Chains A and B, each alone.
Chain A
């Protein structure tokens, strides 16, 4: 009887540990709404990439990495043809009104469309750089727009949010981080 027991225990133990691992993952997706396919940024705690982008219509200053040092800021990658960007835009407007510095990287957007977007929905950005080729976005590790980065005052990336930012994301994650970085 003892011999039969030990032959059963082993596979059952493996099954239970696998079931526990799966349960933990499913729990995370279910309760948090955390999407497993969201990748952590490879650039967390690294300096933001070096870049110099022209403005959307070619007039005036664009947006360069030099502007990222000196104060805490957000960098938002958006495009007029990106529907979730439209959806999150009011949240960005609210943040800008509350004094948060937001920079924009306009990704592969015809200038007329980008300008029309901002005229219609408002402009929360302190500076905007037009990334026509998408190369700068690749330097930032962009794969799913919109994406929003939190940059500390030394120009290091502290956090990346993939997808549209919601009011809950602001109160749960962005505000606390901004407060911590401002100190």
Chain B
């Protein structure tokens, strides 16, 4: 009975969490642009810019002062007609590539992008070689002795009878 109740309670909490807890928005109503399309672009760009004060949140999520200032800068440049790329370049020119949550594909970040897949590939090759080696071990067939052959036939005959 207790277990049933605990399960149901856990499910309820999870449902409430899903319904309410997924998006942490730090954008205040006064910041949002009037133009819905521009505002949507602003949000999309903000989600990809790192808040440097907290360093693990985007400026869209973070409540930090700097995050708010950067959100305003993004919106300001959008209204001035910058493209998304121009805005990313603008912020990265001042704060470095680290501010981009989507790191650019450059010589310095090749290891970051290719690394995980590379390690996986190496591991896969290693496994392949390992099993290959095991497979080619030839087990020589040792012929049955007369006694074993007799017992084998006896067993087989028994089976076919049943």
Contacts and interface: CB of A to CB of B under 8 A. Distances in A.
Nearest to A46: B93
6 closest residue pairs by CB, A with B: A42-B96, A143-B52, A141-B94, A134-B69, A141-B95, A42-B95
A108 B69 CA distance: 11
B52 A39 contact: yes
Contacts of B133: 3
Interface residues of A, number: 20
Given A39-B96, A40-B96, A43-B94, 16 more contacts: A3-B133, A7-B130, A10-B126, A39-B52, A41-B96, A42-B94, A42-B95, A42-B97, A108-B65, A133-B69, A135-B73, A138-B70, A141-B95, A142-B66, A144-B52, A144-B53
Interface in A71-97: none
Contact of A139 (B94, B96, B134): B94
A134 B70 CA distance: 10
Interface SS of chain B: helix
Interface string B32-70: 000000000000000000001101000000000110011
Interface residues on B, range: 10 to 19
B111 interface: no
Contact of B73 (A40, A138, A141, A144): A138
Interface of B: 52-53, 55, 65-66, 69-70, 73, 92-98, 126, 130, 133-134
A133 B72 CA distance: 10
A144 B65 CA distance: 11
30 contacts: A3-B133, A3-B134, A7-B130, A10-B126, A37-B55, A39-B96, A39-B98, A41-B96, A42-B92, A42-B93, A42-B96, A43-B94, A108-B65, A133-B69, A135-B69, A135-B73, A138-B69, A138-B70, A138-B73, A138-B94, A139-B94, A140-B94, A141-B94, A141-B95, A141-B96, A142-B66, A143-B52, A143-B66, A143-B95, A144-B52
A114 to B, nearest CB: 17
A134 B67 CA distance: 12
Contacts of A42: 92-97
